[in-house]
Amino acid sequence: MGLLTFKGGVHPPHKKKFSENEAIKILPLPEKVYVYTAHSIGAPAKPIVEVGDKVKTGQKIAEAGGFISANLHSPVTGTVVEFTKLVNAASGLKSDVIVIEREGEDQWELLEKTDDHTKLKPEEIVARVKEAGIVGLGGAMFPSHVKLSIPKGKKAESLIINAAECEPYITIDYRMMLEKTSEVLKGIEIIMHTIGVEKAYVGIEDNKSKAISHMKEAVKNSSIEIVPLKTKYPQGAEKQLINAVTGKEVPSGGLPIDIGAVVFNVSTAYAIYDAIYNGKALVESGISLTGEGVKKPGNFWFRVGTKVSELLDYVGIIEEDKIDRVLYGGPMMGISLPDTELPTFKGNNAITVMTKDVAPNKETMPCIRCSSCVSVCPIGLQPYLMKKLADTRKYDDLTNNNLMDCIECGACSYTCPSGIDLTKSFKTAKKVVRAMKQRRG
Amino acid sequence: MKFKNLSAPHLRTKDTTRQVMIDVLISLTPAIAVSTWVFGLRALYIMMFSMISAEVLDFFIVRVLKKQKNYKPDFSASVTGLLFGMNMSMAVHWWHMLIGIAFAIIVAKHAFGGLGQNIFNPAEIGRVFMLISFPTVMTTWYKPFANMSASVDTITTATPLALLKEYGANKSLSNFSYMDMFLGKIPGSIGEVSALALLIGFAYLVYKKRIKLMIPISIFSTVLIISSIFYFVNPTRFGTPLFHLLAGGMIIGALFMATDMVTSPMTIKGQIVFGIGIGVIALTIRYFGAYPEGVSFSIVIMNALVPLIDLWMKPRVFGTSKKGAK
């Protein structure tokens, strides 16, 4: 039987060998943390502390600024020393940062905890997840309590756990499955209980055979099923994953819940477990520090807000002139950092240091209509045409050609023999179209 | 450390447009070799002359007329030139070819905006132009393994398709066996004679994933189905399905001219429609037209329809079918 997958996609080199056999190590506590009030999706959180306030680890320092927003907690025990602004690499704009200086070892301020989640009502769990400021750790950082609250009139049918980890280099989810197996499974059970489903599927790409067999062993006699998936990028994109596992398609412009699917990442399931059973707010998470430019790549447990340069100091990097770029995340969707003095977000699952010899330096040539971009697009778009429309600013035509369905996976740019920056154009065009919509009302 | 702001994806394939063109050139080498074996060294000279003059002309236009100082050849003109040469008759003179190549590169390619912008396959346009402008030269066919020092009358002959048109299928097949046609021991355009050599080259392109595979499949299936029907109606007048596959420019046209990336449709659905169109038009011309051969014309006609095909044959967008929207 062929493995489950979706249509389209590409096969970038895995590059997981750098860190896949490295057990997760706990990094020493940072001296200073820089916590962005805005995480990538939703309204920024509103600070509730002032300069000079003493805070404990896990103590709330900012309140969610709306429904789609998440609370922030102090990643260390110490004093709030400054409110400042730092560049947010995702948008390129400056955004607010709370700076906390560490004093001594951790003193945790824990949230309410339980030793049996089945005693809690779904609403109580949603409230606790919200309180703990949990966001999706696959990279998009969507607030988890929003996903856990099933809208009226909709019903969750299947829970899908995203353990595809289809981005090259990144291995943290893989290590989580090997090392934190029971915690992750407990987290999955909590989610199942909360959204009221009988069955959960864990989708794992078949290049992680150790994780597949390990997890299969662990879920025996439970209602959690391990689903091996074909290794193909972007297998871990939410819509593609649902399609591979259930055979169903999320309607264009719709949400997974429209077809009864709810998707959570492995590490997010762990974070939910940690909040419900240990009362810990989301202030630390797993990360792969990897890439050709890193001397001792590995997987680590880091505090949110630690500077990238500090993380990289720990693993060591090669000579600066050989380094081409440093990324939040992996090479397919990762965001390149303007400098390494920027701090980490909750959702940073990897820092990838790429050297000049692996980074693309393709010369841009005219499109020869080779149709590679059309055949790899997992959404069935026509990137070559959209690029033409984007270049001539025909935004209405672009919208009619389903621009807004683009998931920005980068498969078209990856495959283009003419080295055309297709994905970049679509990202910009989507921003323009959104802005135009807002102005037109 | 400071870095430039760079856009994802941060990995790319090693494929380049230049490499695509080089692969196409490599894939044509078996056909070049067989043609040289069948028609002699002069065939090789014709193909090389065509290829080099096309590349030089292209370079001149881009470098001097379009003033692109940093331009490095992408070898697309070499592909055009080589295919053009392969579509020539052995009777062609160098100045005939220069006119044809100039038409292909200047009018069919650069007048439309250069690489990637042309609507028609430049090599195919060049051949059609030659066929109309120099009909006698372009339909004077040399016998395979002919002694070039003999007089023109004794070394020229009719192609299988011309015999079919004039005298019917029996005459044509009594002169050439299917094996001759498969190996290339027949008269015809320099590069089109050997189905085997072309198929070997094509297999290389398929292996390298450089080709729109659905186009030849669609053309061949259409030709087989339609010619089977006609063969059933009148076997002596219309010839066998196998004959129509092997004779004339069907193989080179389907494998290397119709599959030209720039001038063929982008989606699988579109490529199937495109192939069906070529098959139908080519056979219509062969059966009822004034020319014995119709592959070139059919490709050029279908090239013109590609923008429409691309407009109508879009891929299905994820989540927009009845299956996805409940």
**Chain mean position to CA A108:** 26
* Binding-site residues of A: 367, 370, 373, 377, 406, 409, 412, 416
Predicted local distance difference test score (pLDDT) of residue B228: 95
Identify the helix (H) or strand (E) that includes residue A204.
strand A200-205
Task: Quote the tokens at residue A428.
Answer: 């910009």
Predicted local distance difference test score (pLDDT) of residue B323: 44
Question: Which domains does chain A carry?
Answer: 151-268 (3.40.50.11540), 372-440 (no CATH)
Confidence of residue B152 (pLDDT cuts 50, 70, 90): low
Task: Indicate if the alpha-carbon torsion angle A318, A320, A324, A329 is positive or negative.
Answer: positive
User: Percent of chain A beyond pLDDT 90?
Assistant: 84
Q: Which residue has the higher pLDDT, B265 or B73?
A: B265
CA dist A108 and B306 (Å) reads: 66
Determine if the peptide bond prior to A234 is cis (ω within 30°).
Answer: yes
Residues of A in contact with B324 (CB under 8 A): 248-252, 259
Q: What is the ipTM of this complex?
A: 0.88
Query: Which amino acid makes up residue A361?
Result: N
Interface test with B, best of A325, A418, A424, A426 (most B CBs within 10 A): A418
Confidence of residue A361 (pLDDT cuts 50, 70, 90): confident
Residues of A in contact with B5 (CB under 8 A): 92, 336, 338
Predicted local distance difference test score (pLDDT) of residue A185: 95
Residue with tokens 């055009």: B80
Q: For residue A133, report the phi and psi dihedrals to the nearest 5 degrees.
A: 65, 35
- Count Cβ–Cβ pairs < 8 Å, chain A vs chain B: 178
Which residues 168-197 of A are in CB contact (within 8 Å) with B? 168
Return the SS3 of B29.
Answer: helix
A305-331: per-residue pLDDT in tens? 999 999 999 999 998 888 999 999 999
**Would strands A298-303 and A284-290 be described as parallel, antiparallel, or unpaired?**
antiparallel
Confidence of residue A139 (pLDDT cuts 50, 70, 90): confident
Boundaries of every domain in chain B:
17-139, 159-187+212-312
A108-127: per-residue pLDDT in tens? 999 999 999 999 999 999 99
CA dist A312 and A296 (Å) reads: 10
Identify the helix (H) or strand (E) that includes residue A51.
none
Q: Does B42 touch chain A (CB under 8 A)?
A: no
pLDDT for residue B173 is more than 80: no
* Binding-site residues of A for [4Fe-4S] cluster: 367, 370, 373, 377, 406, 409, 412, 416
Return the SS3 of A364.
Answer: coil
pLDDT for residue B326 is more than 60: no
Confidence of residue A40 (pLDDT cuts 50, 70, 90): low
